[in-house]
Structure 1
Amino acid sequence: MSANGSPMGFGRMRRKEDARFVRGRGTYVDDVRLPGMLHGAVLRSPLAHARIESIDTTAAEAHPKVQAVITASELAERGLAWMPTLSYDTQAVLASDKVRFQGQEVAFVVAEDHYAARDALALIDVEYSPLPVVADAGTSLDESTVVIRDDLKDKQDNRIFDWEAGDKASTDAVFAKADVVVAQDVLYPRVHPAPLETCGIVADFDPIAEKLTAWSTTQAPHAHRTLLASVLGIPEHRIRVISPDVGGGFGNKVPIYPAYLCAVVGSMITGRPVKWAEDRSENLMTSAFARDYHMRGEIAATSDGKILGLRVRVLADHGAFNCTAQPTDYPAGFFHIVTGSYDLQAAHCEVTGVYTNKAPGGVAYACSFRIAEASYLVERLVDMLALELDTDPAELRMRNLLRPGQFPYVCPTGWEYDSGNYPAALELAMKTAGYEALRAEQAAKRERGEYMGIGISCFTEAVGAGPRKHMDILGLGMADGCELRIHPTGSAVLRISVQSQGQGHETTFAQIVAHELGISPDEVEVVHGDTDQTPFGLGTYGSRSTPVSGAAAAVAAQRVRERAKLVASAMLEVSPSDLDWERGRWFVRGAPTIGRTITEIAAAAHSSLELPDGVEGHLDASCVYNPPNLTFPYGAYICVVDVDPGTGQVKVRRFIAVDDCGTRINPTIVEGQIHGGLADGIGMALMELMAFDSDGNCLGGSFMDYLLPTSVECPPWELGEMVTPSPHHPLGAKGIGESATVGSPAAVVNAIMDALKPFDVRHADMPLTPAAVWCAIQGRPLRSDLAIE
């Protein structure tokens, strides 16, 4: 047992990092204070689309506390006017020719304090000439629509890409022979990750050493270092990125934002450190969003409910610049894992990405590269098929779910699912919910004029962001490094390339090493978030920490264990082949009392012991883990709601979530991740919406307008557990961080639509606010669906 009573390895234990957090000893970027530090502020455009006729910074520069005012012209002189995005697009660091979304960066002020920097923004005079605004993805490709990215050579329209997956001919053939075809236009609206801590940086450029140190709120320190080196022209070994404690990320802190580069340039100009931290409105209005997918889905089936195929057409709104953090070969992310948890004959999807006059981005917010959108569409279509066939939605799903014997399963769009028992997950969810009793209760309530709904969602996630032969971002392969060192006293230091934003890495990764070496997790220090102290890797997003870096940690620990075997053989004067392993020690086969613990072996490895040929001493190992495939966690969810038809108010009464993430390293952390994801899903289903008016004005710039769920809206979660290890992961772990957000919105919406069945409501788009629900009941949708031809 460890000092805090936890087991040596997998199992429940208190999070190691919480000791400092609950005492207020966490260190965030805004806690960084450097001698002579200055403060930066960004002047942002009030218009969504306009020509910049002139910028006059004279008055701002005359402010007694202002040290520098940076505009696009100053950046152009340094070759920094434009920066690459994570999707091989380019983005203006500061607008020069025109602004393309409300809130776009126009100028950057560096001053003695935060307040002076903010005050000086009002002294900058910018003359704009308004241009027509494209605020609707549905009109972005109209011939008469203005071209937003006229900076791109020969750009004739607002199309970013056209992409497809699956076999169109086979899918069309399946639809032609189907007895039933159900189609629906579905919007997955723009939402925002809204982390508790907003984005920020402290940039300190040393002109003597020509070295840049940047404290940044980033989920991917090494990727940021590489991008900063490529943009700034500073050799990468002279850049140090430190990501201290991060107050939530959810994909929002994957990109490099223009203000980061401005802060660096401000430090270069002034010779002093420069801090920039955005406020809440800046974060909501201008930093990376998620979703904004306009989808038309069709599902084909036989008359007895056998699902045959899916056909999907998507219009993806990527904003003014294509900044989506997605693998190079998959501009639409993993949306084409659109078949979900069902055994289909064929599937085909087409995705068109377009520019609009909205903030850029499209991050993998609590989902692995667009799988949340695909899962939501499929689960809505399955429910509508059940309605069409007058079949119970649970029965229809059970009839079509993949069976354990079908794994590894290659879906119609080419991805190989690793393992699972989907019917058992749904059965467990139904048993936990008391499904038959719920249906009886629902029938009784309807007779009394009460409207209760039961929604089901089955989903398959795809996480891990690898292997690198298939997946990269800007040429950087999605593999992760890990370094493990055992000290002479037997304690360990593990250096990892992924960065925690609250997931508990310091606990989980310590438990992985403890499990492999038989030592206490308390004896393992986990180092992360500092590019000078950790090996290269692409960071934390897409639930890739345990599937990729966790595997690297396990392999490194296994290599240490095998190295320890050789040292133990020298200590015991036997052949390595005569040794057996038990948790924490090597012993002589047939003589279990004769052995050496890892602590004893570590001391000997650093001593004068004569070691076998080829063994240099010490107990160190490293690993660069290139996953052979994605991992595929899955789940089955059931949501129970009550709807007041007079007000449209929805109350989520119960939520049952059965998840299978493979091997569970720390069940407490797993459950915490699920709790957060379920709350995310309820928020998206019921209240979250980043809306814009026809002039491109953002209508969700504060928490008065952009609503987030609280404990009031969330019921006590009822969790069920399945464990089907991944066959290709060293620990059998699949990842869990984003699964609940993938599966929960559909369960909530399906429950509401089930409650509104007596009103003949077939579909209404998220968020299902009281106004939206009331309008749906009245037959007057609050927002008309977008038809996709």
Structure 2
Amino acid sequence: LEGRTDNHIYDWEAGDKAATDAAFAEAEVVVTQEMLYPRVHPAPMETCGSVAHMDPITGKLVIWTTTQAPHAHRTVYALVAGLPEHKIQVISPDIGGGFGNKVGIYPGYVCSIVGSIVTGKPVKWMEDRSENLMSTSFARDYHMTGSIAATRDGRMTAIKVDVLADHGAFNGVAQPTNYPAGFFHIFTGSYAYPVAHCNVKAVYTNKAPGGVAYACSFRITEAAYLVERMVDCLADELGMDPAELRLKNFLLPEQFPYMSPTGWEYDSGDYPRAMREAMRIAGYDELRTEQIEKRRAYDAGESNELMGIGISFFTEGVGAGPRKHMDILGLGMADGCELRVHPTGKAQLRLSVQSQGQGHETTFAQIVAQELGIPPEDIEVIHGDTDNTPFGLGTYGSRSTPVSGAAAAVVARRVKDKARLVAAAALECSADDLEWEQGRWFVKGDPDQGKTIQELAMAAHSNLELPEGVEGHLDATAVYDPPNLTYPFGAYICVVDVDAGTGVVKVRRFIAVDDCGPRINPMIVEGQIHGGLADGIGMALMEVIAFDEDGNNLGGTFMDYLLPTSMECPSWELGQTITPSPHHPQGLKGVGESATVGSPAAVVNAVCDALRIRHADMPLTPAATWRAMQGRPLRTDLAIE
């Protein structure tokens, strides 16, 4: 903070303050609630590390590193080291998970690079677990006060939010330049608020710096938690069922595309259908009946267990982003992709994004296979090496499928279009006379006269005379700049049992209905949802980096920073609806962070429902839950009273 007079970073707002204040002045009902989204950590299986080698003979710097954004790292290293980018190769192999923790550039990376440049020898840096938990990018630490204005019959008329964001020792967040608070202003969620306003103030503190970590999705996670907690607070104030209140205020399918009062253009959605599907799977009415019976048993002293039912509904904007108004450090967020079909019909797809376990090798091969008819097993997916892949800003914010997945579809269609011209030459007909079926071009009206994509790949490399202006070989490149974000959404229902004597919370059931558009690989999608739901249970019930009264971090080991295991997780009950995005060639939306965005509020809402209280901050540990039952909420981010 040298040279500064205070610890303020920014003061940012979105929406119409005057109109929002006017709506609150006229409101029949107003609810206000303070809440904390505490500091949590991604805790990837493998910590951050790198090996740098400056070859003194060739002058080339090769860096093997745990990064989610190899090309962005290379550009920064070029600027820092004063080397041209072609003299720097960044290789990111299997990195042991990322969750946003491995987007940024840490001092250890730079130290290994400088050490190798100075010594001419390979230099390795690898942090231990305590270093990872205490000094690398965290997420959240948002202190929020939300208010909803409504009519007495439950029609929501306005929402406003004030936020104090603790960014730690320096502003290490990787947000688009135009959005210092990320995408938090999507806090209107899935509801038809006529007006809204938010103000976000960020400050420096003596904690580790923040980042994009832990499915942060550019602060959408915090926004979704806030609005879903506030809707439950309003339901409590009105005495309405929280499902009924949501259904009464959802945006309707005919309202899309929808411009939110804070400036988001939602592309597509059918929120009531997803909500009703979740209620159907859960057996919602039967659950409420069971809850009444359990409450009677508790009140009669026949049971010490309380049952709670929590609902959350989220909409997130993913696929950052349109370069006209989104960048990171001045670098546009378009993604490159290259596709080469070899003479034998096998293919190589080169991506700018990096996988950390999302299944890119499978999913992206299937995207190309769907376009060209080449079997997925015949498509090699290459990523994670800046010398062998096109430029792009990496994998985070659920952007791989919406941006690079779109680039893969576009580049495959370009190959298909070129194959059509090759087919016209091979079949001695006009390209206009050809028709496509999966994997081959054929002459209209004569299906037997056709060529498969494999045959056309060989022909494109042969001595076949091609039309003027058509180059040989069957390959193409694409740089995809998305026209808009895509907007996945979902309806979640959580059922908990709370031991009133100990405060222990058990998640009995969790129903998740997600809409991420068409699913290229349903198993991979479900796997990502499973992981996100476990994340949500962890954040809601146990995860927090707490500090003592002297500011010391108390979450430096897994003895103190608790993570959920299979013991704490129920058997997930998943459902889906499908609403394709009009802004993606295949209608895909992205799903990597959806469950982490939507699940914490469902768990907290369920616990508050069981205890018949309006609010308690995460994590709802046994101590925090028991204290909440006594009307003495616990400050969960501090190890002091």
Match in the other structure for 1:193: 42
Counterpart AA for 1:709: P
Counterpart AA for 2:623: A
Distance 2:620 2:79 in 1: 44
Superposed CA offset, 1:375-418 (max 9, x none) = 10101110010000000000000000111000001111011000
Match in the other structure for 2:257: 408
Match in the other structure for 1:258: 107
Distance 2:252 2:373 in 1: 36
Write out the 4+ residue segments of structure 1 that deviate beyond 6 Å after TM superposition.
none
Determine if the alignment matches structure 1 residue 230 to structure 2 residue 85.
Answer: no
Counterpart AA for 1:201: S
Larger radius of gyration: 1
Distance 1:779 1:417 in 2: 40
Determine if the alignment matches structure 1 residue 274 to structure 2 residue 126.
Answer: no
Determine if the alignment matches structure 1 residue 746 to structure 2 residue 606.
Answer: no
Match in the other structure for 2:216: 367
Distance 1:201 1:328 in 2: 28
Match of 1:514 among 369, 372, 379: 369
Match in the other structure for 1:533: 388
Q: Is the 8 A contact 1:410 1:416 kept in 2?
A: yes
Distance 2:412 2:489 in 1: 28
Q: Is the 8 A contact 1:579 1:587 kept in 2?
A: yes
3-state SS of paired residue (1:705) = coil
Match of 1:675 among 497, 521, 530: 530
Match in the other structure for 1:775: 627
Determine if the alignment matches structure 1 residue 651 to structure 2 residue 506.
Answer: yes
Counterpart AA for 1:766: M
**Identity of matched residues, %:** 75
Determine if the alignment matches structure 1 residue 697 to structure 2 residue 546.
Answer: no
Q: Is the 8 A contact 1:325 1:364 kept in 2?
A: no
Match in the other structure for 1:293: 142
Distance 1:185 1:778 in 2: 19
Match in the other structure for 1:181: 30
CA RMSD of aligned residues (A): 0.9
3-state SS of paired residue (1:568) = helix
Gaps of 5+ in 2: 299-304
Instruction: State how 1:557-576 maps to structure 2 within 5 Å.
Output: 557-576=412-431
Distance 2:458 2:228 in 1: 57
Q: Is the 8 A contact 1:555 1:623 kept in 2?
A: yes
Q: Is the 8 A contact 2:546 2:636 kept in 1?
A: no
Displacement of 1:733 in angstroms is 0.2
Match in the other structure for 2:198: 349
Superposed CA offset, 1:694-722 (max 9, x none) = 22211000000000000000000000111
Match in the other structure for 1:8: none
How many pairs align?
632
Q: Is the 8 A contact 2:104 2:211 kept in 1?
A: no
Displacement of 1:234 in angstroms is 1.1
Counterpart AA for 2:31: V
Displacement of 1:364 in angstroms is 4.3
Q: Is the 8 A contact 1:364 1:370 kept in 2?
A: no
Q: Is the 8 A contact 1:174 1:345 kept in 2?
A: no
Distance 2:101 2:471 in 1: 44
Displacement of 1:784 in angstroms is 8.0
Displacement of 1:782 in angstroms is 1.6
Determine if the alignment matches structure 1 residue 433 to structure 2 residue 274.
Answer: no
TM normalised by structure 2 equals: 0.98
Superposed CA offset, 1:638-681 (max 9, x none) = 00000011000000000000000011110000000000000000
Instruction: State how 1:62-101 maps to structure 2 within 5 Å.
Output: none
Distance 2:206 2:435 in 1: 65
Superposed CA offset, 1:508-549 (max 9, x none) = 000011110011000000000000000000000000000000
Match in the other structure for 1:213: 62
Determine if the alignment matches structure 1 residue 615 to structure 2 residue 470.
Answer: yes
3-state SS of paired residue (2:411) = helix
Displacement of 1:616 in angstroms is 1.0
Displacement of 1:208 in angstroms is 2.5
Match of 1:477 among 332, 335, 346: 332
Distance 1:612 1:633, change over 3 A: same
Counterpart AA for 2:216: C
Gaps of 5+ in 1: 1-148
Match in the other structure for 2:301: none
Displacement of 1:781 in angstroms is 1.4
Distance 1:434 1:442 in 2: 12
Determine if the alignment matches structure 1 residue 640 to structure 2 residue 495.
Answer: yes
Displacement of 1:269 in angstroms is 2.1
Distance 1:360 1:270 in 2: 30
Q: Is the 8 A contact 2:546 2:637 kept in 1?
A: no
Distance 1:181 1:443 in 2: 28
Counterpart AA for 2:49: G
Distance 2:168 2:194 in 1: 35
Distance 1:785 1:563 in 2: 59
Q: Is the 8 A contact 1:633 1:734 kept in 2?
A: yes
3-state SS of paired residue (1:775) = helix
Counterpart AA for 1:777: M
Q: Is the 8 A contact 1:367 1:739 kept in 2?
A: no
Superposed CA offset, 1:582-627 (max 9, x none) = 0000000000111000000000000000001111110110000000
3-state SS of paired residue (1:336) = helix
3-state SS of paired residue (2:471) = coil
Distance 1:368 1:287 in 2: 17
3-state SS of paired residue (1:246) = coil
Determine if the alignment matches structure 1 residue 626 to structure 2 residue 505.
Answer: no
Displacement of 1:484 in angstroms is 0.3
Determine if the alignment matches structure 1 residue 245 to structure 2 residue 94.
Answer: yes
Match of 1:490 among 327, 345, 350: 345
Match of 1:523 among 354, 370, 378: 378
Determine if the alignment matches structure 1 residue 333 to structure 2 residue 182.
Answer: yes
3-state SS of paired residue (1:413) = coil
3-state SS of paired residue (1:419) = coil
Match in the other structure for 2:401: 546
Displacement of 1:728 in angstroms is 1.5
Q: Is the 8 A contact 2:39 2:637 kept in 1?
A: no
Counterpart AA for 1:192: H
Distance 2:241 2:312 in 1: 13
Counterpart AA for 2:625: V
Displacement of 1:367 in angstroms is 3.3
Counterpart AA for 2:635: R
Displacement of 1:368 in angstroms is 1.3
Distance 2:450 2:213 in 1: 49
Displacement of 1:753 in angstroms is 0.2
Displacement of 1:571 in angstroms is 0.4
Match of 2:235 among 382, 386, 389: 386
Distance 2:239 2:16 in 1: 30
Distance 1:785 1:571 in 2: 70
Distance 2:68 2:381 in 1: 16
Q: Is the 8 A contact 1:186 1:785 kept in 2?
A: no
3-state SS of paired residue (1:369) = helix
Match in the other structure for 1:468: 323
Displacement of 1:211 in angstroms is 1.4
TM normalised by structure 1 equals: 0.80
Instruction: State how 1:15-30 maps to structure 2 within 5 Å.
Output: none
Distance 1:507 1:367 in 2: 25
Determine if the alignment matches structure 1 residue 505 to structure 2 residue 354.
Answer: no
Distance 1:471 1:784 in 2: 35
Distance 2:338 2:284 in 1: 49
Distance 2:348 2:220 in 1: 35
Superposed CA offset, 1:441-469 (max 9, x none) = 00000000031000000100110011011
